[in-house]
Structure 1
Amino acid sequence: MNIWVDADACPVVIKEILFKAAERTKIQTTLVANHHIKIPPSRVIHFMQVSSGFDIADDEIVKRVEKGDLVITSDIPLADEVITKFAVALSPRGELFTKENIKSRLNIRDFMDTMRASGMQSGGPPPLSQSDRQTFANHLDTILMRYQKSKR
Structure 2
Amino acid sequence: MIYVDADACPVKAEVERVGTRHGMRMFVVSNGGLRPSQNPLVENVIVPEGSDVADMWIADRATAGDVVITGDIPLAAKCIESGARVLKHNGEALTEANIGNVLATRDLMADLRSADSFRQGGGKPFSKADRSRFLDALERELQRIKRGL
Q: Who is 1:145 aligned against?
A: 143
TM-score between the two structures when normalised by the length of structure 1: 0.92
TM (normalized to structure 2)? 0.94
SS at match of 2:43: strand
- Following superposition, the deviation at residue 150 of structure 1 comes to 2.9
How many aligned residue pairs are there? Answer: 148
SS in 1 for 2:148: helix
Does structure 2 retain, via aligned residues, the 8 Å contact 1:4–1:30? yes
**Which 5+ residue runs of structure 2 have no aligned equivalent?**
none
Q: 1:39 to 1:19 in 2, by over 3 A?
A: farther
Q: CA deviation at 1:43?
A: 1.4
Aligned with residue 134 of structure 1, among 125, 129, 132: 132
Structure 1 moving runs of 4+ over 3 Å: none
Shift in Å, 1:70: 0.4
Match of 1:48 among 39, 45, 52: 45
Query: CA–CA distance in 2 between the matches of 1:144 and 1:134?
Result: 16
Partner of 1:21: 18
Is structure 2 residue 82 aligned with structure 1 residue 71?
Answer: no
Q: Quick one: distance in 2 between partners of 1:70 and 1:27?
A: 10
Structure 2 match to 1:6: 5
C-alpha root-mean-square deviation of aligned residues, in Å?
Answer: 1.4
Which one of 88, 93, 98 corresponds to residue 90 of structure 2? 93
Name the % identity.
Answer: 35
1:35 aligned residue? 32
Aligned residue number for residue 103 of structure 1:
100
In the alignment, the residues of structure 2 paired with residue 47 and residue 71 of structure 1 have an alpha-carbon distance, to the nearest angstrom, of: 15
TM superposition shift of 1:66: 1.6
Structure 1: segments with no counterpart, 5+ residues: none
